[in-house]
Amino acid sequence: MVCNADEGEPGTFKDRVVFTEVPDLLFEGMTVAGYAVGASEGIVYLRAEYEYLLPGLLEVLDRRRRLGLLGRNICGKEGFDFDVRIQMGAGSYVCGEESSLLESAEGRRGAPRTRPPFPVTRGYRNQPTALNNAETLCCAARILAKGADWFAAQGTRDSTGTKLLSVSGDCARPGTYEVEFGLSVNKLLALVGADEAAAVQVGGPSGTCVAPKDFGRKICYEDLSTGGSVMVFGPGRDMLEVVRDFTEFFAEESCGWCAPCRVGTEVLLRMLDEIRDGRGTQDHLYRMMQLGDTVKACSRCGLGQTAVNPFLTTLRNMRDIYTERLSAHEYVPRLDLKKAVAFSEELAGHRSEVKEE
Ligand code: SF4
């Protein structure tokens, strides 16, 4: 039973709140999940940057052992053996992807595995492995305490329950909020005190950038899906610069395994720079769209498949941030073919032959 607590998505900090405020709830969720799937070993894969939380979490685990809530014959139930250890990550974003996380937990370089097989059949050390995030495990513990009907009565038909949101950026009250699924972006902005939001990034850089015209959209799986990160951008923000920073982040975090992600993110970054510096043309947008679709379709794991989202979603929802910076000229190739041919003829000492059809 593995808990994915490698929350590395920029703008996400809800797991940190879980670990500091309600660690018992998480360990309880892991324990009941372990009981449900017949696991005797639980691993929390903790984000490297959260190392400072480790001593406190180890104390909580020790206390739970003393109380008979971890270890052998838990709560006096014969054969209910389960314990938890904490494994530190090493600061790689891609280890938030479940198979990379397992590679790292086994002591190897954190790179995605080819799937199938999926972790439920062959996961940690080739054992069947249930792998969930911290919030899901907390939900499991609360559902057991309060009943499934209580949980299902909240949210929407296809997204039952509540969602933890880490809200940051240009708002008066940033922080971690628990809201019912189905809350509109408008209502969330009112809650966090963001009256003048010009854009909201829902789901972190790999999610969706929403413009004011779409603030009526709802946060739920059937509309705006999010792992928990919500970033608010006020009117003073340069959204092209934001997209550029997100793209640079993905280029930096790409593990380099496959070319579409490794090369595509770098090329996209360069083209964004060209637009920012006033050297972009309509042709840039066309080629960037094609490149984006290729990177999305051909990358091996979720990082590459979502790395182009900042560009693609802003191109769809706020195209002006690009078009207003394009130069008036149509695409001008950097290579002057005639000059290049003349130069090579000079070097070769003879003229090129042109065969007539
Ligand atoms: S998509 Fe990117 S992060 Fe994922 S395997 Fe390919 S290179 Fe690595």
Fold that domain 239-323 belongs to in CATH: de novo design (two linked rop proteins) (1.20.1440)
Best probe residue, ligand 1, of 255, 306, 309 (max atoms within 8 Å of C-beta): 255
* CA of residue 344 to ligand 1 center, whole Å: 39
291 CB neighbour count, 10 Å cutoff = 19
> Which residue's CA is minimally distant from atom 1 of ligand 1?
304
Best probe residue, ligand 1, of 115, 303, 305 (max atoms within 8 Å of C-beta): 303
Q: Which residues line ligand 1 (CB under 6 A)?
A: 94, 112, 254-258, 261-262, 299-301, 303-304
Q: Which residues, at least 6 apart from 45, have a Cβ–Cβ distance to it below 8 Å?
A: 2, 3, 4, 5, 6, 87, 89, 95, 101, 104, 105
Q: What is the enclosing helix (H) or strand (E) of 181?
A: none
Q: What is the enclosing helix (H) or strand (E) of 201?
A: strand 199-202
What pLDDT does residue 335 have?
73
Q: The pTM is what? A: 0.85
What pLDDT does residue 330 have?
65
Fold that domain 154-233 belongs to in CATH: Ubiquitin-like (UB roll) (3.10.20)
The total number of residues written for the chain in this structure: 357
The tokens for 200 are: 């909201």
What pLDDT does residue 357 have?
57
Burial label, 145 (beta-carbon count in 10 A; 0-12, 13-18, 19+): exposed
Q: pLDDT of 290-321, one tens digit each?
A: 999 999 999 999 999 999 999 999 999 899 99
Q: pLDDT of 229-254, one tens digit each?
A: 999 999 999 999 999 999 999 999 99
Give the three-state DSSP class for 49: helix
The tokens for 231 are: 């970033």
* Paired strand residues for 229: 166
Could you tell me the residue ranges of all domains in the chain?
Answer: 2-151, 154-233, 239-323
Burial label, 343 (beta-carbon count in 10 A; 0-12, 13-18, 19+): exposed
The tokens for 247 are: 């793209």
Low-confidence ranges of the chain (pLDDT < 50): none
Q: For the CA atoms of 89, 94, 100, 101, what is the dihedral angle to 10 degrees?
A: 30
* Paired strand residues for 82: 71
> Which residue's CA is minimally distant from atom 4 of ligand 1?
301
Closest CA to 203 of 118, 269, 302: 302
* CA of residue 265 to ligand 1 center, whole Å: 10
Instruction: Choose the CATH number for 2-151 among 3.40.50.2300, 3.40.50.11540, 3.40.50.150, 2.40.50.140.
Output: 3.40.50.11540
Given the DSSP bridges, would you call strands 218-219 and 183-184 parallel, antiparallel or unpaired? Answer: antiparallel
Give the three-state DSSP class for 192: helix
* CA of residue 103 to ligand 1 center, whole Å: 14
Rounded-to-integer distance, Cα 287 and Cα 295, Å: 12
Closest CA to 38 of 111, 129, 118, 107: 129
